Amino acid sequence: MKSRTWILGLVLVVASALIPSPATAFCIQATGGNNVRWAGSTLIPRKASTVPTGWDSTVNNARIDWNGIAGSTWSYSTPSRTVTTSSAYVISNVDFSANGWQNVPGYTILTISGSQITKARQYQNTDYSWNFSGTMVSGSQADVHTVVMHEMGHILGLLHPLYCGTMTAAEQAAAMNPDWTKKWDTNSDDEAGAATLY
């Protein structure tokens, strides 16, 4: 089966791009009638050496936010520092401008075969000034917990709710809605999406 990749940036979409369709809950992609997801429901986050050790406790808290959700079997295992090229899920910090990428805090790149996610790479932008206080400023400052938790939602298969049309109030407040506000926990909409996928 041919593989393809999704590149999911933490990008704001202007209001004029809103699609005036009935609101639905969360946003996932289906192909051939199957939701795009991992075959299993457990994944080990593997941190490259470019991710500061000072981020460890916050990355750990972010992955726990996606675990133990009612109705969902999804679980991120304890993060590891062991990384190989064949690792299913790797988190790295990279210089986005040097790669010609957009000036956003995070990217997630998924490799998908059929409807199955087989590989994930998560990147945080070293062009940003990173903090642990919840400060989010477009183009310059990013909060580690908010961004890492958001990207981890992409890793398990969730998309920005706006991609699926006009957002409900719960979708607007969701971690998967990148709106430059501090978000330190998943909300009902994120959790409904996780429970639908796993």
Which residues of this chain interact with Zn ion, rule CB under 5 A? 8, 10
Q: Residue 80 or 181: which CB sits closer to Zn ion?
A: 181
Q: Residue 10 or 36: which CB sits closer to Zn ion?
A: 10
With beta carbons less than 8 A apart as the criterion, state whether 144 and 15 touch: no
Assign 3-class secondary structure to 92-108.
Answer: EEECCHHHCCCCCCEEE
Q: Closest separation between CB of residue 11 and Zn ion, Å? A: 7
Q: Residue 10 or 110: which CB sits closer to Zn ion?
A: 10
Q: Closest separation between CB of residue 178 and Zn ion, Å? A: 5
* CA distance linking residue 123 with residue 95, whole number of Å: 9
Q: Closest separation between CB of residue 154 and Zn ion, Å? A: 6
Q: Residue 54 or 163: which CB sits closer to Zn ion?
A: 163
Q: Please state, as a whole number, how many other Cβ atoms lie within 10 Å of the Cβ of residue 11.
A: 14
* CA distance linking residue 6 with residue 19, whole number of Å: 21
Q: Closest separation between CB of residue 86 and Zn ion, Å? A: 25
Q: Residue 35 or 73: which CB sits closer to Zn ion?
A: 35
Q: Closest separation between CB of residue 9 and Zn ion, Å? A: 6
- φ/ψ region of 26 (left if φ > 0, alpha if ψ in -120 to 50, else beta) reads left
Q: Residue 73 or 168: which CB sits closer to Zn ion?
A: 168
Strand-pair category, 37-38 with 116-125: parallel
With beta carbons less than 8 A apart as the criterion, state whether 126 and 52 touch: no
Locate the DSSP E strands across the chain.
3-9, 30-31, 34-35, 37-38, 42-43, 46-47, 75-76, 89-94, 106-113, 116-125, 129-131, 141-143
Q: Closest separation between CB of residue 197 and Zn ion, Å? A: 16
